[in-house]
Structure 1
Amino acid sequence: MSSSPAVRPVSFARGAPSTDIVDVEGLKQAAVDAFTADPAGMTGYGTAVGYPPLRQWIADKHGVPVDHVLVTNGSMQADAFLFDELVTPGTAVLAERPTYDRTLLGLRQRGADVRLVTLEEDGIAVDEVAQLLEGGLRPALAHVIPTFQNPAGYTLSLAKRERLLELAREHGFLVFEDDPYVDVRFSGEPLPRMLELDGGAASEHVVYACSFSKTICPGIRVGYLVGPPALIAKVRVRATNTYIAPNMVAQGIVHAYLTGERFPAALERVKSALAERVGALDAALRTHLPEATFRRPEGGYFLWVSLPADAGHDVARIVTEAADRGVAIVAGTDFLLEGGENSFRLAYSAVQVDDVEDGVRRLAEAVHAARA
Structure 2
Amino acid sequence: MADTISFARGAPSLDIVDVEGLSAAAQRAFANDPGGLTAYGTAIGYVPLRKWIAEKHGVDESRVLVTNGSMQADAFLFQTLVQSGSDVVVEKPTYDRTLLNLKSLGAQIHMVSLERDGISTDELAGLLRGGVKPSLAHVIPNFQNPAGYTLSLEKRRALLDLAGEFGFPIFEDDPYIDIRFAGESLPTMLSLDESDDKVVYASSFSKTVAPGVRVGYLVGPAGLIDDIRKLATNTYIAPNMVAQGIVYEFCASGAIDRSIATVKAALAERVDILCDALAEHLPEATFQKPEGGYFMWVSLPEGSDIDAIFAAASERGVAIVKGTDFLLEGGENTLRLAYSGVTADQIEEGVKRLAEAVHAVPVAG
Task: State the TM-score, normalizing by the size of structure 2.
Answer: 0.99
Which residue of 225, 241, 259 maps to 2:218?
225
Q: For each residue in 1:68-116, what CA deviation from the matched residue of structure 2 results, as whole angstroms up to 9, or x when unmatched?
A: 0000000000000000000001100000000000000000100000000
- The answer for the alignment partner of 1:235 in structure 2 is 228
Distance 1:270 1:308 in 2: 32
- List aligned pairs for 1:258-269, cutoff 5 A: 258-269=251-262
Q: Does residue 361 of structure 2 align to residue 370 of structure 1?
A: yes
Moved over 4 A (4+): none
SS of the aligned residue for 2:361 comes to: helix
Q: Does residue 147 of structure 2 align to residue 152 of structure 1?
A: yes
Amino acid at match of 2:211: P
SS of the aligned residue for 1:114 comes to: strand
Amino acid at match of 1:368: H
Distance 1:349 1:13 in 2: 9
- The answer for the alignment partner of 1:85 in structure 2 is 80
- Unaligned segments of structure 1, at least 5 residues: none
- List aligned pairs for 1:183-332, cutoff 5 A: 183-199=178-194, 202-309=195-302, 312-332=303-323
Q: Does residue 63 of structure 2 align to residue 68 of structure 1?
A: yes
Identity among equivalent pairs (%): 64
Distance 2:162 2:29 in 1: 44
Distance 1:254 1:56 in 2: 13
Distance 1:34 1:47 in 2: 17
Which residue of 114, 117, 122 maps to 1:122?
117
- The answer for the alignment partner of 2:95 in structure 1 is 100
Change (3 A) 1:266 1:368: same
Distance 2:82 2:254 in 1: 42
- Unaligned segments of structure 2, at least 5 residues: none
Q: Does residue 338 of structure 2 align to residue 347 of structure 1?
A: yes
Per the TM alignment, residue 265 of structure 1 is displaced from its structure 2 partner at its CA by 1.7
Provide the alpha-carbon RMSD of the alignment. 0.8
Distance 1:27 1:225 in 2: 23
Amino acid at match of 1:240: T
Per the TM alignment, residue 260 of structure 1 is displaced from its structure 2 partner at its CA by 1.2
Per the TM alignment, residue 301 of structure 1 is displaced from its structure 2 partner at its CA by 0.2
Amino acid at match of 1:363: L
Per the TM alignment, residue 14 of structure 1 is displaced from its structure 2 partner at its CA by 0.2
Distance 1:263 1:170 in 2: 39
Per the TM alignment, residue 261 of structure 1 is displaced from its structure 2 partner at its CA by 4.1
Q: For each residue in 1:9-61, what CA deviation from the matched residue of structure 2 results, as whole angstroms up to 9, or x when unmatched?
A: 21000000000000001101100000100111011100000000000000000
Amino acid at match of 2:342: V
